[in-house]
Homo-oligomer: A and B are copies of this chain.
Amino acid sequence: MSRVVNEHPSVRDTTRERVKAVIAETGFQLNLAARSLAASQSYLIGTFVADTASLYYSELARGAARACRALGYHLVTEEFDQRNPVAADHYERTLRQTRCDGMILPPPLCDDLALLDALERDGVRYVRISPMLDPDRSVAVFAHDADGVSQLARHLWEKGHRRFGVINGPSNFASSATRRDALIAAVCALGGSASDVTASKMLWDGTFPATGYRTAGQLLKDAPDISAIFTFNDELALGVLGYAHENGLRVPKDLAVAGFDDSDASSFAWPSLTTVSQPIVDMAVRAVQALVRDSPHARRRIECPVRLVIRASTGGE
């Protein structure tokens, strides 16, 4: 009886037990498809991963899967084309037929307005991760980037650094600007000025590490007095580290290097890297919880704390 499975309140204890016994005996298993059809709820949450190797998206999916399981949902994963994220079209043709109860939209899809329109038209709820555009349009989950960057600035400042370099991330990621601006603000708050920070957009070179390598060279040519470089992500920072090694710069004595972490990515790095660690798994969990529990028209910001992990590359440990 459906009332037992769905934990309906008005069922006598004895009846519940009796039914549960039968369920256990017969090995009965709910059929999700039938339930979906009848209840017009799919118990499915959808998310996207990029079409290149990336811990960021996989950690996001992992957190989402974990939360789905805890809430009785299942996670459907689709790949999107990072070069050409016309996700709306993609959604129309495939994901739409699954009738997901909700979608998790990581950057840059969270800023694909056509996709948001399509979702709203279909009455599909969505939560965005670190959106850049129109952040109050839906529930949105943010990492408290500025906070972490400011902790990092303080750490570097205390180590004696006064001139900083920044390697920005992709321009379609809101956090590229956020993190750069946060560093400038933090340096100013510590007694420095905006001119102590030299920011450079990344000079793409195929992979993030290669890009970090190349951009570090340019940055140090433009502003030779820089003694610390902060990058948009850890992979860029690895390239900076490589540049330092190959050019006789001792780390962290001549050059301190810090990155920004997409969850446990920094544990892949060796030697270890100072990083602002973003709780991406947790962000995904929060996103799924909001999808399932919030009222359909909720519009709130969820801020997740980041964590400064100090390692050898800036004189820690």
A264 near B97 (CB under 8 angstroms)? Answer: no
Which of A59-67, A142-150, A174-182 is near enough to bind chain B? A59-67
A77 near B61 (CB under 8 angstroms)? Answer: yes
Within 8 A of B (CB), among A106-159: none
Q: How large is the interface on A (under 10, 10 to 19, 20 to 34, 35 or more residues)?
A: 35 or more
B58 near A49 (CB under 8 angstroms)? Answer: yes
A265 near B53 (CB under 8 angstroms)? Answer: yes
The answer for the CA separation of A155 and B11 in the assembled complex, in Å, is 71
A34 near B37 (CB under 8 angstroms)? Answer: yes
**Which residues of chain B have C-beta atoms less than 8 A from A94's C-beta?**
69, 74
A31–chain B nearest beta-carbon distance, Å: 6
A78 near B65 (CB under 8 angstroms)? Answer: yes
A24–chain B nearest beta-carbon distance, Å: 12
A36-67 vs B, CB cutoff 8 Å, 1 = contact: the mask equals 11000010100001011111011101100110
Q: How many chain copies?
A: 2
A79 near B69 (CB under 8 angstroms)? Answer: yes
A164 contacts chain B at the CB level, 8 A cutoff: no
**Which residues of chain B have C-beta atoms less than 8 A from A239's C-beta?**
270
A238 near B270 (CB under 8 angstroms)? Answer: yes
A96 contacts chain B at the CB level, 8 A cutoff: yes
Q: Which chain B residue shows the least CB distance to A60?
A: B58
B75 near A76 (CB under 8 angstroms)? Answer: yes
A79 near B53 (CB under 8 angstroms)? Answer: no
The answer for the CA separation of A51 and B64 in the assembled complex, in Å, is 12
A99 contacts chain B at the CB level, 8 A cutoff: yes
B245 near A31 (CB under 8 angstroms)? Answer: no
B29 near A96 (CB under 8 angstroms)? Answer: yes
Question: Across chains A and B, which 9 residue pairs bring their CB atoms closest together, nearest first?
Answer: A58-B58, A33-B36, A53-B264, A238-B270, A209-B270, A242-B270, A33-B37, A65-B79, A30-B97
Q: A69-B78, A74-B98 are in contact. List 13 more A-B contacts (CB 8 A).
A: A29-B97, A31-B99, A32-B99, A33-B42, A33-B99, A53-B264, A58-B61, A209-B269, A209-B270, A238-B270, A241-B270, A242-B270, A268-B268
